[in-house]
């Protein structure tokens, strides 16, 4: 059998309506494989079969994305250039860092720099290591004794 323009048009139309390849084949008087092959040559979009689609949906419901991973990163994964803003309790496993790209010269990302400035100090440590023992410990006012 040969593919006349009419048959190609019918194939395209039925394909887009979601007919199964077997039924399109019946309609056109050709085998299922001929329908699939012709559709492929015509560049028609692939249609996942209903059964396959249902299986994929079930798969997605079964395996929800892990929450913990999108929340932040562990201290072991914390590297240079990453936001060091801590979350959670350091004494538990539920402790992690923001891990977003930090602002150069700052230990935090945009968002957490803003929060740090809002609080007026480092969220956990009053004296982070980078500010300890350095030559610039702030202005020393003579006579500022307790
Ligand atoms: Zn951050």
pLDDT of 8 above 90: yes
CA distance 134 to 123: 21
Question: What pLDDT is stored for residue 67 in this prediction?
Answer: 46
**Which helix (H) or strand (E) covers residue 86, if one does?**
strand 86-87
Task: For the beta carbon of residue 102, count every other beta carbon within 10 angstroms.
Answer: 20
Compute, in angstroms, the gap from residue 131 CA to the centroid of ligand 1: 20
Compute, in angstroms, the gap from residue 126 CA to the centroid of ligand 1: 18
Compute, in angstroms, the gap from residue 64 CA to the centroid of ligand 1: 25
Compute, in angstroms, the gap from residue 26 CA to the centroid of ligand 1: 61
CA distance 33 to 1: 13
Question: What pLDDT is stored for residue 69 in this prediction?
Answer: 46
- Residues 93-133 have pLDDT tens digits of 788 999 999 999 999 999 999 998 886 555 555 445 554 44
**Contacts by residues 94-99 (CB-CB < 8 Å, ≥ 24 positions apart):** 96/68, 96/71, 96/72, 97/72, 97/73, 98/72, 98/73, 99/72, 99/73
What b/e sequence results for 33-63 when a residue is b if at least 16 CB atoms lie within 10 Å of its CB, and e otherwise? ebbbebbeeeeeeeeeeeeeeeeeeeeeeee
Compute, in angstroms, the gap from residue 111 CA to the centroid of ligand 1: 6
Question: What pLDDT is stored for residue 93 in this prediction?
Answer: 78
């Amino acid at each position: 059998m040969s593919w006349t323009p009419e048959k190609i048009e019918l194939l395209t139309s039925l394909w887009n309506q979601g007919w199964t390849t077997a039924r399109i084949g019946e309609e056109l008087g050709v085998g299922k494989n001929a329908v699939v092959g012709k559709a492929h040559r015509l560049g028609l979009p692939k249609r996942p079969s209903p059964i396959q689609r249902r299986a994929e949906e079930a798969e997605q419901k079964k395996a929800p994305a892990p929450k913990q991973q999108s929340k932040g990163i562990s201290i072991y994964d914390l590297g240079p250039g990453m936001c060091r803003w801590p979350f959670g309790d350091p004494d538990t496993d539920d402790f992690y860092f923001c891990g977003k790209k930090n602002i150069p010269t700052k230990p935090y990302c945009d968002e957490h720099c803003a929060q740090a400035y809002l609080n007026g100090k480092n969220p956990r440590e009053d004296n982070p290591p980078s500010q300890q023992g350095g030559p610039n410990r702030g202005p020393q006012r003579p006579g500022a004794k307790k």
